[in-house]
Amino acid sequence: MVGKDCVAIACDLRLGLQALTVSNNFPKIFQYGDVLLGLTGLATDVATVSDLFRYKVNMYRLREERNIAPSTFANLVSSSLYERRFGPYFVSPVVAGLDQKTGKPFICGFDSIGCIDFAKDFIVSGTATEQLFGMCESLWEPDMVRLDLDFRTLFPPGIFFYMMILLKNGQLNHDVECSTIMHIICTSDLNFTNASYQSTFATGFDEFFANNLNLLDDLQCPEDLFETISQALLNAVDRDALSGWGAHVYIIEKDKVTKRLLKGRQD
> What CA–CA distance (Å, rounded) separates 99 from 94?
16
Which residue lies nearer to another protein by CB, 78 or 131? 131
Sorted by sequence, the CB contacts under 8 Å of residue 3 that are 6+ apart come out as: 105, 143, 144, 221, 222, 224, 225, 228
Q: Which part of the chain contacts another protein (CB under 8 A), choosing from 36-44, 101-109, 132-140, 215-223?
A: 132-140
The span from the CA of 125 to the CA of 133, in Å, is 9
Q: Which stretch binds another protein (CB under 8 A): 68-76, 97-105, 137-145, 211-219?
A: 137-145
Query: Under rule CB under 8 A, which residues in 145-164 are in contact with another protein?
Result: 162
* 241 makes contact with another protein (CB under 8 A): no
CA gap 48, 16 in Å, rounded: 17
Nearer to another protein, 189 or 238 (CB): 238
Exactly one of 139, 149, 178, 241 binds another protein (CB under 8 A); that residue is: 139
Dihedral sign computed on CA atoms, order 138, 142, 144, 147: negative
Inter-CA distances, 139 with 24, 77, 107, 134, 173, Å: 27, 29, 18, 9, 12
Q: Does 131 bind another protein (CB under 8 A)?
A: yes
Residue 130 or residue 218: which is nearer to another protein going by CB?
130
Contact yes or no for 246/32 (Cβ under 8 A): no
Q: At what angle do helices 43-64 and 70-83 cross, to 10 degrees?
A: 130
Q: Minimum distance from CB of 239 to another protein (Å)?
A: 4
**Pairing status of strand 15-17 against strand 257-262:** unpaired
User: Is the Cβ of residue 103 or residue 157 nearer to another protein in the bound state?
Assistant: 157
Quick one: 144 exposed, middle or buried, by C-beta within 10 A (0-12, 13-18, 19+)? buried
End-to-end CA distance of the chain: 26
CB nearer to another protein: pick between 102 and 200:
200
CB of 234 to another protein, least distance (A): 4
What is the closest distance, in whole angstroms, from the C-beta atom of residue 244 to another protein in the complex?
11
173 binds another protein, rule: CB under 8 A: yes
| Residues 211-240 interacting with another protein (rule: CB under 8 A) | 231, 234-236, 238-239
What's the min distance (Å) between Cβ of 44 and another protein?
A: 28
Binding region for another protein (CB under 8 A): 130-131, 133-135, 137-139, 162, 173, 175, 231, 234-236, 238-239, 263-264
